[in-house]
Structure 1
Amino acid sequence: MVLFKALEARGILASMNGYIAVGWLVVEDLAMVVVLVLLPPLAGMLGGTETDGSLQSPLWRTLGLTFLQVGAFVALMLIVGRRVMPWVLWLVARTGSRELFTLAVIAAAITIAFGAAELFGVSFALGAFFAGMVMRESTFSHRAAEESLPLRDAFAVLFFVSVGMLFEPGVLIDSPLRVIGVVAIIIIGKSVAAALLVTAFHYPLSTAFTVAASLAQIGEFSFILAGLGMSLGLLTAEGQSLILAGALISIALNPMIFGLIEPLRNKVLENSRLARQLDQRQDPFAELPLSTEDRYLEGQVVLVGHGRVGRQIGEALGRRGIPFVVVEQNRELVEALRRQDIAAVSGNAAEPSVLIQAHIARAAMLVIAISDTLDVHQMTGTARALNPDIEVAVRAQSEDDASLLAREAVDCIFCGEDELAKGMAEHILKRVAPSADHPG
């Protein structure tokens, strides 16, 4: 949660760097869920007093039983839960009661989490995680998330209040060197490991620096794990205080670390030839292949975004045989499009180099089909600078967005609300107009 807020505040969340950091966080949370599942049985076995050398057999039996219980719970959620829960939410939504729908969402989440803990011996956190997964299968998932948003914020406040009440400030005076060591592991050790792994996957050095700074803190699951360790007798009160101190200090220092990214990157690039080579490495999906046909390089439509709106636009262009190049931040989506012989480039269209790779200088039209309009100014500025005669069409979410976009160098603005009204009005007129013309 802290990382989400930090990335969103700095405009990184919607970029490639933000996707990598959030994906990393999701993997960390999944690994933490596995630890939460395995820690209680392991703690029970390792805390026993087996003296006859038969520890290995009970340990494997306990682990097998744990995996069996977790597997049964997961199967129940995937087979039954994903069908029953959407049906229940649909029935509740039919009542038209907003309060009842919110209550049903909360009751379902708590029931699944509690049932996971009591019936299957699974941790409460894992049960809540799967409750969210089965609710995601419902067509009302967005409404459920919207309705529970105020409660989420309230529980987040209570969570951090409880963390603050657990923290013992005296550890800063009694064990300052240990606190410094924990903070160094979180900020330096974790950041260096993240930077090395991102670099190993052939991303630019600038991406490695940004992701490393984003992960220079620990999340909320660490507090849950520390609390579980305390309850199982595996962690002392001093150890929990050290973890809390390291978390709070790393979160407080994170804004300063973000501020040091650019100066540190420039310093490293100035003094290291290897760093310059790493920073200049290009993603193979960040440029069009050399075998791309000429019709995609001149007179084409550059389509920014391939979500629900962009996909329909691309399908319409394909049916008419109009060449187009997709610019999309999702690297996996770009890879899938290329397998379908669709010209696509990976990257953020707000960066001039990305539009250059899409050959914007010779394009006939730029279509911005993404919902986020914050980077439209940079996109249109790059397009106009390289191709003054290009036509620009932009998607707007609301009338307020449309009024702001009208100030940019945009030729055509499509507002979602207006287009919806036009489509509904056209359908109504088609159905009603014939009977109106022939009343008899």
Structure 2
Amino acid sequence: MVKKGIGVGWVVEADLRLIVDLVIVLATALGGGLLASALKQPPLLGYILAGVVIGPAGLAGIREVVQVETLAQFGVTLLLFSLGVEFSLGKLRRVGAIALGGGLLQMGLTIGLTAYAVSATGWLSPRAGVVLGTILALSSTAVALKSLAETGQTESLAGQAMLGILIVQDLAVGLILAVLPALSATWDDLGLALGLALVKLLGFSVGALALGRWGVPPLLRFLAQRESRELFLLGVICLCVGIALFTQKLGLSSEMGAFVAGVMIADVEYADQTLAYVEPLRDVFGALFFASIGMLIDPQFILAHAPLIAGLVLLVMVGKFLVVVPVTRLFGYSWPMAVLVGCGLSQIGEFSFILATAGQGLGLISRHIYLLVVGTTAITLLVSPVLLQWVGHLLERWQMAGEPESLKVVSLFRDHLVICGYGQIGQDVAQIVAAHGGSLLILEQSERAIAQVRRRELTYLPGDATSWSILHRANLSQARAMVITIPDLASIRLCLKRALQLAGDLEIIVCAPRKEYIDALYRLGATKVIHPDFEASLGLSSHLLTQLGVPLEQIQLELAEIRNHHYQDLSLAEAVCLLPITPPSLSSAS
């Protein structure tokens, strides 16, 4: 009994030790974040430095380091899950070329150049060079995402391109981990490992698409019907962690699974509710994660090898910048955007710690190289947020200095119509309104569409219409109305929600890309939701009924009735015959 009592007491003491360690980490992270904020630096910089201070190489104030690092991984999971919820396939399609082509090209060039450089100088073997190149090719999704959010650039075209490349890098981590053991074997084993990893990734992608289409929406609807915030949050967390663990079991990265889980929810009407519930947990565990990165940093090793590590940091960041910028320009992005993307991807990612550990365990890199990689990675993670913030502000000032005067004084607009998206519908609306002398402001991020706006000498703001900064500059509180013609639901939803937060009584007309979205957009606060196919049917019906002699006032009343009922009594196949009108000319014709 005594031994049992001692054992229980030891367990309780160990549990309390972990709780105390967590409190220490979070409190120190708070202090570091406040200090960084006071110095006008990103808070995550303070989180990392807090980890250095209390880590094993610092004051050694944390005893349960492994347990704290394990819990910190939950922060990465929630961070990428939130990214998936905010992401959308529509946005991915807009940056799909640079995400896939640019991401693969950037990784290939980085790996190839690194392997050639280290083998040509005789520093490492070609296979070790490939491993090192793979480590350097990855950038930090967590750091870049946090930096973009803090500088308000997440929804910008450069931010979306950056995130697209980062997602491709994260998807490649599973393949890299599967192939890494084969690097110490023959080329035949390498091909087999790569093929197996591709099959797993393809199978998981097909399963994720099916689950996202037929499984997730009914599950979220069921949870929402319980009318319990706690049950909804628990259900979402279980979904996120469950998919993350499943992908890890497959040999792919758990982080990729968390992101895919978020994407499954992105186009569901409960996406905003999910994000609102998860964000507080994400921020707390995210701070824990960045502090855990700081715990890996050994200041004594860095000081002992300061010249070498400083040179490696400079070489890595400049080298990656010189690779990313031409790749970004190759896909048609402007120089300012290319520079911003290059700065955002110039650091080494947190997954590189995992790859470096695996490479050391397989004997592909030495302990000394591993410590150099850890030190270099940590420094780049510290420098990158500051660099991205500084370059972002510099480019914004430069861009503002080169803008037309009409854009600099956009806040002076009154009684203007804001058009979000300059596709075909946006162009038609702008042309009609401009012909009647109406004041217009167009929000568009596509360089091709902006070129058309310039040719027609219309006033515009370049940027994503879902961005807080763009919507602020559009002076929505003084606008007459707003028209949203963005093609994907996630962007429409975010634009609508933020516009109403800035101007709650603003009349907002939304063009729904699919008829299933009409009721959801009304619930989100849209004044009027139109659907192009239904409107085409109503326009055709109006013309035909006019030809049949039906009074124009009666036609307008009937069409208004259909629109007021959200097209519920109208289907695409029965658009004309469901109109409850008996034209007088029909009887005479017969």
> Which of the five TM-score ranges fits, normalised by the shorter chain?
0.5 to 0.7
1:187 touches 1:250 (CA, 8 Å); kept in 2? Answer: yes
Letter in 2 for 1:123: S
The alignment status of 1:6 with 2:138, answered yes or no, reads no
> Alpha-carbon deviation of 1:101?
0.7
Identical aligned residues as a percent: 24
Match of 1:33 in 2: 171
Determine helix, strand or coil for the equivalent of 1:345: helix
2:343 touches 2:388 (CA, 8 Å); kept in 1? Answer: yes
Q: For the structure 1 residues 246 and 25, does the alpha-carbon distance in structure 2 shift closer, same or farther, using more than 3 Å as the test? A: farther
Match of 2:118 in 1: none
Q: Aligned to 1:182, which of 312, 318, 322?
A: 312
Q: Aligned to 1:197, which of 327, 330, 335?
A: 327
1:187 touches 1:217 (CA, 8 Å); kept in 2? Answer: yes
Match of 1:43 in 2: 180
2:155 touches 2:466 (CA, 8 Å); kept in 1? Answer: no
> Alpha-carbon deviation of 1:83?
1.5
What do residues 84-135 of structure 1 show as CA deviations (whole Å, max 9, x unaligned)? 12221211111111101111111111112222333x3333233323222323
Alignment of 1:246-395 (within 5 A): 246-254=376-384, 255=386, 259=390, 303-306=418-421, 327-331=442-446, 344-345=449-450, 357-360=455-458, 370=465, 372=467, 374-375=469-470, 393=480
Match of 1:401 in 2: 502
Q: Aligned to 2:195, which of 45, 64, 69?
A: 64
> Alpha-carbon deviation of 1:358?
4.6
The alignment status of 1:206 with 2:304, answered yes or no, reads no
Letter in 2 for 1:31: Q
Determine helix, strand or coil for the equivalent of 2:450: strand
Match of 1:158 in 2: 288
Determine helix, strand or coil for the equivalent of 2:299: coil
Match of 1:276 in 2: none
**Count of aligned positions:** 344
Determine helix, strand or coil for the equivalent of 2:227: coil
Q: Aligned to 1:20, which of 143, 158, 167?
A: 158
Q: For the structure 1 residues 240 and 419, does the alpha-carbon distance in structure 2 shift closer, same or farther, using more than 3 Å as the test? A: closer
Between the aligned partners of 1:199 and 1:313, the Cα distance in structure 2 is 28
Determine helix, strand or coil for the equivalent of 1:327: strand
Match of 1:288 in 2: none
2:145 touches 2:154 (CA, 8 Å); kept in 1? Answer: yes
Q: For the structure 1 residues 219 and 146, does the alpha-carbon distance in structure 2 shift closer, same or farther, using more than 3 Å as the test? A: farther
Determine helix, strand or coil for the equivalent of 2:196: helix
Determine helix, strand or coil for the equivalent of 2:480: strand
Q: Aligned to 2:256, which of 126, 135, 144?
A: 126
The alignment status of 1:226 with 2:364, answered yes or no, reads no
1:328 touches 1:345 (CA, 8 Å); kept in 2? Answer: no
2:443 touches 2:464 (CA, 8 Å); kept in 1? Answer: no
Determine helix, strand or coil for the equivalent of 1:216: coil
2:421 touches 2:443 (CA, 8 Å); kept in 1? Answer: yes
Q: For the structure 1 residues 401 and 66, does the alpha-carbon distance in structure 2 shift closer, same or farther, using more than 3 Å as the test? A: closer
Gaps of 5+ in 1: 49-54, 270-279, 281-300, 336-343, 347-353, 381-390, 404-411, 432-440
Between the aligned partners of 1:130 and 1:369, the Cα distance in structure 2 is 23
1:305 touches 1:328 (CA, 8 Å); kept in 2? Answer: yes
Match of 1:135 in 2: 265
Q: Which has the higher contact order (CA 8 A, sep 6+)?
A: 2
Between the aligned partners of 1:418 and 1:80, the Cα distance in structure 2 is 25
What do residues 9-67 of structure 1 show as CA deviations (whole Å, max 9, x unaligned)? 4444444xxx2244234323323422332323x3333345xxxxxx3444433333332
Match of 1:285 in 2: none
Between the aligned partners of 2:265 and 2:471, the Cα distance in structure 1 is 34
